[in-house]
Chains A and B, each alone.
Chain A
Amino acid sequence: MSVLLSLKGLTLYYRTRRGVVKAVDGVSFDLKEGSCLSLVGESGCGKSSMAYAIMRLLPRNTHTYCGELIFDGKNLMDLTENDLRRDFWLKKMAMVFQGAMNSLNPVLNIGEQLAEPFTIHLGLDKLEALKRAAELLELVRLPNSLLDKYPHELSGGMKQRVVIATALSLRPKFLILDEPTSALDVITQANIINLLKRLQEELNLTYIFITHDLGLSSELSDYIAVMYAGKVVELGDIVSILTAPKHPYTQKLLAATPKLLEDAKLEFIPGSPPDLAYPPPGCRFHPRCPYVMDVCKVREPEPVKVSSEHYVSCLLWERV
């Protein structure tokens, strides 16, 4: 399988009143076509920012945006926003934003909403666009009767499906899903995950699936990337990560995941994630790491290959 997306030192800093927030700080990895990568990590560690950085959908207060971002053989960094709008967004890559509840225009009904991409990109007339909108509803298994409903008349799960449908309107092959199932009940979550699985098979999609639920990510993913304070600290195939996590943070994260039918006491990670405006020097996890060494406080770890598809950024493993 060929590589669809390749990041090298992708960086996104925000300008804020408190200083420069290093939300994504030199992230590198490759993503194979047709696979699914889960991006996990605590809240505020920069997962959504990473999604924006990959999409090149930058907020107004972007301070630094650099690195190499090769998608489908093209370096997106070299393109203008117009190129992206014309040839990439929705056509090749799309994103489902965090909080689908708010991703729908409250003043458009579902039909008009789903018709938008066809009107914007294909210049279809209203009737034709609505016909395509109806097909989209079918794709995500929603009844046609929703076409003239407004977003506030839909349940959370329905809205999420509509948002996914919109993202798939022009059949991109790459989809970033930013916490598509948080704020949904478990049954609905399972339904959405099943839908995503089916769509991946039908449309041969490549996913980046952002979540903070490791259990959920194992349902869908081939790979897991663990983010901490703007950096990917461990990346590997799902089996290695879930069965043999190498980074102390990943280990703690797994231990903090509730498991059914197991009476084990949940662990938590002492301390709190660092302020991304002023991250600690050296390894960013060192203030909370149980295995911290002196060197951790001054040297930043580099990714180390522990098996064929498993990398970890930790000085413990660099020494071995």
Chain B
Amino acid sequence: MGDFVSSAPVGLKSVAYEVSHSKSGLAGIIILASILLISMVAVFSPENIIEKWNDPQAWLDKPRLAAPEWVTIFTGQNSLKTVIIKQEDFRKDVQKVAGLNTTKIELRARITYNYDTIPTEVNLNLEIISETRSLLTVRWVRPDGSSVLLLREAVEAGQKSVFTYRDRTVFENVQAYLQKLAAPSTLSVGEVLFSSEDSLLKGTAKLLKSSDVKPSRPYELVVEGVSESKFFDVNAQLNLLGSVYGLCGTDNMRRDIFVGIVWGAPIALAFGLVAALVVTLVQAVFGAISGFYGSRVDEIIQRVTDIYLVLPFLSLLITIQFIYKTTIWTLLIAVIALSLFGGVTKSVRSMALQIREEPYIEAAKSYGASRPRILFLYILPRLLPYTFANITVSVPAYVFLEASLSILGLGDPALPTWGKIISEAFSGGAAYYGYWWWILIPSIFIVLVSTAFALLWYSLDKVLNPRLREE
């Protein structure tokens, strides 16, 4: 402890130099810089992710519970990543039927499908602009030319989403198709759509790839609308969702976990850094005042510290969160308020007691320096190395604290924090069903932040602690 009171100059420049030239310090800086960079993306992004994060409608074009894309490197499968056929990628054919006053619109999407797995979902989003009801037909054409009728019904104008795997009408139409084929009716919609008729007949669904026919041909989705309306238009978007998605996969609300990680980074860093910085500095200042002023002030500060030290910190915090369900920033204030005095106050006091007896303090007094000046210009700078080392060790502790509270369900109700992603993974049964990415990826980031600060502390310790200096 006393070892931190170095008499060498504690210029931050020289400390920074030495830390960045040690291996562990460099590693810590690199990790931190990367996380900081990620945070910058979130901080400067114009998107309102926070709102989007809590809106289930905003994530419909993402697969549910998809593993990260890079798992395909290990499985060796060419798994389907998300394929989205946008409105402008549909081929549109508009026909006016002469005399009859009807308009017929045909939309055609072509999907070259050479993946090893069938999509987990095939979703069609339709937009129908019409004065009257219109007749809508949706057909699915396989590369071998065989086709399945998915929908034929009169629909109102407006938005219409067809989750083909879960849609009742689609299901009935597919059942009718299987009956006509005389194929077993136990096959799922997805299997029916992506298998050749031969294999359906045998009752075994075998994926038909575009390249299985010569020459290679795509799958086609054909949407046909007929209406008598004076103006009539149909637009469509087709989403084929796979079992893998993005860098970090998705959760049970189809949210991209990578987005959660990126937006959670500045929150974790800000919470950890602000808490560590403010708590350590406040405690250090109180400790220095206590040691330097002595007598009555010392007595009061030390007794208050004793009280703070026996306060059940976590229990109080949990109670506060449980009752008030505060935001993370209110939580931060509560954390600071509950740690105004503590271990740092005690150790800094003992260092200040030692420093105040040094001749240069006496000399400063004889120059007429006031007590606050001596405290802030002569004593506190000497304590900075210790204080900085303490900040670096306590950052991870506060990142963990936020995560623990989130896992207990006591975190911020709105913000996507790393702890909250893990907490949702638990309630979503990720551990039970093996959605490992949902738990592992945010955990790795929490550990990464802790490791970075631990590495920094390790090298700081080597610089500031004379006994560890390797000369």
The interface of chain A, by Cβ under 8 A from chain B, is: 55, 57, 60, 85-86, 89-90, 94-95, 97-99, 102-109, 116-117, 120-121, 150, 152, 163, 166
Contacts and interface: CB of A to CB of B under 8 A. Distances in A.
Candidate in B9, B294, B368, B377 with the most chain A CB atoms within 10 angstroms: B368
Interface of B: 7-11, 294, 358-360, 362-370, 373, 377-378, 381-382
A150 B13 CA distance: 14
B358 A102 contact: yes
A90 B365 CA distance: 10
Nearest to B358: A102
B365 A57 contact: yes
Contacts of B359: 97-99, 102-103
17 contacts: A55-B366, A57-B362, A57-B366, A86-B368, A89-B368, A95-B366, A98-B359, A99-B359, A103-B360, A104-B363, A105-B360, A107-B381, A109-B9, A120-B367, A120-B368, A120-B370, A150-B11
Nearest to B378: A105
Contacts of A104: 360, 363
Contact of B368 (A98, A102, A108, A121): A121
Given A60-B294, A97-B359, A106-B8, A166 B382 contact: no
A90 B8 CA distance: 27
Contact of B366 (A90, A99, A105, A106): A90
B7 A106 contact: yes
Contacts of A103: 359-360, 362-363
A90 to B, nearest CB: 6
Contacts of B373: 120
A107 B10 CA distance: 7
A166 B367 contact: yes
B366 A116 contact: no
Contacts of B363: 97, 103-104, 163, 166
Contact of B367 (A90, A98, A150): A90
A107 B368 contact: no
A120 B369 contact: yes
Nearest to A150: B9
Nearest to B382: A107
B364 A116 contact: yes
B3 to A, nearest CB: 15
Contacts of A55: 366
A106 B382 contact: yes
B382 A108 contact: no
Contacts of A166: 363, 367
A131 to B, nearest CB: 18
Nearest to A116: B367
Candidate in A94, A102, A106, A166 with the most chain B CB atoms within 10 angstroms: A106
Contacts of A90: 366-368
A81 to B, nearest CB: 10
Nearest to B10: A107
B15 to A, nearest CB: 12
Given A57-B365, A89-B368, A107-B9, 7 more contacts: A55-B366, A89-B366, A98-B359, A103-B360, A106-B9, A120-B367, A166-B367
Contacts of A85: 368, 370
A283 to B, nearest CB: 33
A117 B368 contact: yes
A94 B7 contact: no
Contacts of A152: 7-9
Contacts of B360: 102-106
Contacts of A105: 360, 364, 377-378
Candidate in A99, A116, A150, A163 with the most chain B CB atoms within 10 angstroms: A116
A117 B382 contact: no
Given A97-B363, A106-B382, A108-B377, A116 B10 contact: no
